């Protein structure tokens, strides 16, 4: 992580928390000028993002970004690795980590509700090079996810239409998700609200029906009595030892990536001072309820060694209880999860491209918006990245795409580390400039202990991947990619300094450049 800081940044960066909350546009506050980080564009009519999201959208988006195919399809494999209690413990620790990160993000998002927040915060409170790296990391994370989700949509539709080609349904998914993002931010939010609602309803139904079966209120195949919770400890607390629990914690961290979308959407949310803290405080108990509740039901009703062997544990439970068309129901639910992930992924990727353009890191025309407040050029660039990821999954699945997946898997953890450290630096600078913590509209509780705990736990999650032999390649690839991003930024900064020196030598004012 770069140690280049903007210690002499203008007070305007942080002196008025929450002021950028107009109903018509969401603009990044003024950025201190430097050769490597030009000031952002200021034309509201060209770069304004409309605040079209409400609190209900924000809460569902934060859930929709987390609840994906990992819970519906891969949870059985996780249970097999760590055992019932080990899996519950891993998800509990993962929920705690992400909650601590969200508490730090809340203070930053309310004080500075800007779109593309992660890299803007890193730019100001760590350094412009790290801001660039964070943006590229997060963009890559969602871009690679887009490619895999488009393929998954085609595979899921083949269950109902086996004689149709996968590419046809993938193309249909691409068109639907592109239009949802292109027409307006409000349509994106409503689409995500619908997709997330389907997933939430399915999980709640699963937990309620499962609890009825656990206590014997409804019959379930394989039991002539109430199963209760004996399966949780039938083979001991940690049947495979404690080491698999550690590997599961790493997997859980990746599964919980997406909650930080709250920060990305803050710049386009009405009344972020109220909506953001509310969404953050509901995140933990919902994660606990939906993830841990589902795991408990699965493990109680299905012996853990049988969970997820070739089929979703959700389907297994529904089939044993006797619910008709269980597989088709879950296929529909997983399809909505795929569409939700695609929708959120394209949005997040687009806003990172827009933010880089708005900050002048890439050509500023990427920050231009149409009359509906949609950055179409950034959207097209983000979709192009997703299509390239999709293409690599077809023509270079075992080389290029495998490395992209490995790198993107750790990207969210890197972003979490940066978020926690940015909040620590932000609060220190805020106090050093003569402000008090009471002036902040939202404060991270337990500062600085909560902030440092978030930083330490996320850093440990990243570094300790070295002990998981299945993910060491991902760690190596991520480190190389981070170094490459810093190198690209350094070369760019050097080129800009030379250009600026040349312009000054010619007697021209570089500030007049577009």
Average pLDDT on 44-64 reads 60
Q: What share of the chain is helix, strand, coil (3-state, %, to 5)?
A: 70, 0, 30
Residue ranges in 359-432 assigned as alpha helix (H): 376-395, 400-432
Domain of 62 in residue numbering reads as 55-494
Residue pLDDT, tens place only, 359-387: 888 888 888 888 888 889 999 999 998 88
Q: Which residues contact 81 (CB under 8 A, 6 or more apart)?
A: 87, 240, 244, 247, 248
Pairwise pLDDT comparison (68 vs 2), residue with the higher score: 68
DSSP code for 49: B
Cα separation, 316 vs 342, whole angstroms: 27
Q: What is the DSSP string of 318-362?
A: HHHHT-TTHHHHHHHHHHHHHHHHHHHHHHHHHHHHHHHHHTTSS
Q: With a cut of 90, say whether residue 504 has pLDDT above it.
A: no
**Is 41 inside a domain boundary?**
no
Residue pLDDT, tens place only, 19-36: 433 333 444 333 333 323
pLDDT at 27: 41
pLDDT at 26: 41
pLDDT at 183: 86
Pull the structure tokens for residue 381.
């660039």
Q: Which residues pair with 37 in a beta bridge?
A: 34
pLDDT at 8: 37
**Is 371 inside a domain boundary?**
yes
pLDDT at 55: 62
pLDDT at 33: 33
Q: Which of 48-57, 116-125, 369-378, 505-514 has the lowest mean pLDDT?
A: 505-514
Average pLDDT on 463-492 reads 86
**Is 438 inside a domain boundary?**
yes
Residue pLDDT, tens place only, 272-329: 777 788 778 777 777 788 888 999 998 898 888 877 656 778 888 888 888 888 889 9
The rounded mean pLDDT for the chain is 80
Residue pLDDT, tens place only, 231-255: 888 888 888 888 788 777 777 877 7
pLDDT band, residue 116 (cuts 50/70/90): low
**Phi and psi torsions of 110, nearest 5°:** -75, -40
Q: With a cut of 70, say whether residue 37 has pLDDT above it.
A: no
**Is 62 inside a domain boundary?**
yes
Asked if residues 408 and 348 have their Cβ atoms less than 8 Å apart, the reply is no
Average pLDDT on 409-424 reads 91
**Is 503 inside a domain boundary?**
no
Q: With a cut of 50, say whether residue 257 has pLDDT above it.
A: yes
pLDDT band, residue 514 (cuts 50/70/90): very low
Q: Which residues contact 43 (CB under 8 A, 6 or more apart)?
A: none
**Phi and psi torsions of 53, nearest 5°:** -100, 145
pLDDT at 44: 37
Pairwise pLDDT comparison (62 vs 457), residue with the higher score: 457
Q: With a cut of 60, say whether residue 188 has pLDDT above it.
A: yes
**Is 28 inside a domain boundary?**
no
**Is 348 inside a domain boundary?**
yes
Q: Which residues contact 144 (CB under 8 A, 6 or more apart)?
A: 389, 404, 405, 407, 408
CATH number at residue 278: 1.20.1740.10
pLDDT at 431: 93
Q: With a cut of 90, say whether residue 268 has pLDDT above it.
A: no
Average pLDDT on 103-119 reads 84
Pairwise pLDDT comparison (431 vs 473), residue with the higher score: 431
pLDDT at 272: 75
DSSP code for 53: B
If one counts every other C-beta atom within 10 angstroms of the C-beta of residue 475, the result is 20
pLDDT band, residue 15 (cuts 50/70/90): very low
Average pLDDT on 197-213 reads 90
Instruction: Output Rg (C-alpha) for the chain, integer angstroms.
Output: 23
**Is 37 inside a domain boundary?**
no
What pTM value is reported for the model?
0.81
Average pLDDT on 378-405 reads 82
Sign of the Cα torsion 59, 65, 66, 72 reads: positive
pLDDT at 446: 92
Q: With a cut of 90, say whether residue 420 has pLDDT above it.
A: yes
Q: Which of 176-190, 199-213, 345-359, 388-402 has the lowest mean pLDDT?
A: 388-402
pLDDT at 200: 86
Average pLDDT on 401-406 reads 75
Give the count of domains, the chain: 1
Tell me how many helices (H) and strands (E) the chain has. Answer: 18, 0
Cα separation, 290 vs 302, whole angstroms: 18
Three-state SS at 484: helix
């Amino acid at each position: 992580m770069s140690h280049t800081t903007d210690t002499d940044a203008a007070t305007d960066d942080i002196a008025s928390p929450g002021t950028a909350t107009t109903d018509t546009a969401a603009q990044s506050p003024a950025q201190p000028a430097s050769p490597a980080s030009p000031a952002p564009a200021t034309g509201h009519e060209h770069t304004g993002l409309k605040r079209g999201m409400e609190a209900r959208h924000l809460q569902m988006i934060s859930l929709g970004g987390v609840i994906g195919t990992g819970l519906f399809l891969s949870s059985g494999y996780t249970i097999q690795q760590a055992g019932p209690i080990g899996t519950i413990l891993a998800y509990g620790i993962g929920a705690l980590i992400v909650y601590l990160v969200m508490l730090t993000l809340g203070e930053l998002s309310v004080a500075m509700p800007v779109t593309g927040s992660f890299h803007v915060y890193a730019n100001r409170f760590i350094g412009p090079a790290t801001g660039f790296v964070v943006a590229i990391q997060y963009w890559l994370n969602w871009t690679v996810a887009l490619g895999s989700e488009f393929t998954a949509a085609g595979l899921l539709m083949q269950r109902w239409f086996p004689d149709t080609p996968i590419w046809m349904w993938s193309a249909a998914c691409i068109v639907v998700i592109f239009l949802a993002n292109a027409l307006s931010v409000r349509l994106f939010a409503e689409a995500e609200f619908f997709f997330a609602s389907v997933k939430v309803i399915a999980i709640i139904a699963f937990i309620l029906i499962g609890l009825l079966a656990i206590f014997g209120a409804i019959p379930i195949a394989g039991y002539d009595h109430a199963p209760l919770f004996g399966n949780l400890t039938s083979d001991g607390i940690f049947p495979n030892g404690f080491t698999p629990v550690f590997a599961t914690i790493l997997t859980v961290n990746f599964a919980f990536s997406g909650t930080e979308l709250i920060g990305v959407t803050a710049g386009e949310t009405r009344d972020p001072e109220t909506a953001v803290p509310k969404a953050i405080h509901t995140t933990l108990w919902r994660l606990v309820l939906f993830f841990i509740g589902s795991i408990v039901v699965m493990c109680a009703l299905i012996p853990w060694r049988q969970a997820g062997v070739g089929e979703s544990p959700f389907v297994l439970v529904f089939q044993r209880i006797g619910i008709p068309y269980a597989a088709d129901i879950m296929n529909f639910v997983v399809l909505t999860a795929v569409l939700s992930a695609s929708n959120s992924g394209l949005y997040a990727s687009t806003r990172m491209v827009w933010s880089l353009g708005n900050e002048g890191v890439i050509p500023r025309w990427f920050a231009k918006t149409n009359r509906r407040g949609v950055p179409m050029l950034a959207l097209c660039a983000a979709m192009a990245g997703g299509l390239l990821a999709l293409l690599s999954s077809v023509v270079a699945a075992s080389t290029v795409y495998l490395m992209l997946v490995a790198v993107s898997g750790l990207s969210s953890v890197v972003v979490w580390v940066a978020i926690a450290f940015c909040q620590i630096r932000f609060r220190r600078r805020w106090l050093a400039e003569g402000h008090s913590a009471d002036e902040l509209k939202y404060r991270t509780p337990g500062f600085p202990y909560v902030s440092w705990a978030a930083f330490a736990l996320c850093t440990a999650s990243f570094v300790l991947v070295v002990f998981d032999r299945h993910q060491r390649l991902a760690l190596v690839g991520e480190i190389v990619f981070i170094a490459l991003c810093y190198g690209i930024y350094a070369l760019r900064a050097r080129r800009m300094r030379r250009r600026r020196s040349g312009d000054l030598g010619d007697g021209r004012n570089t500030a007049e450049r577009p």
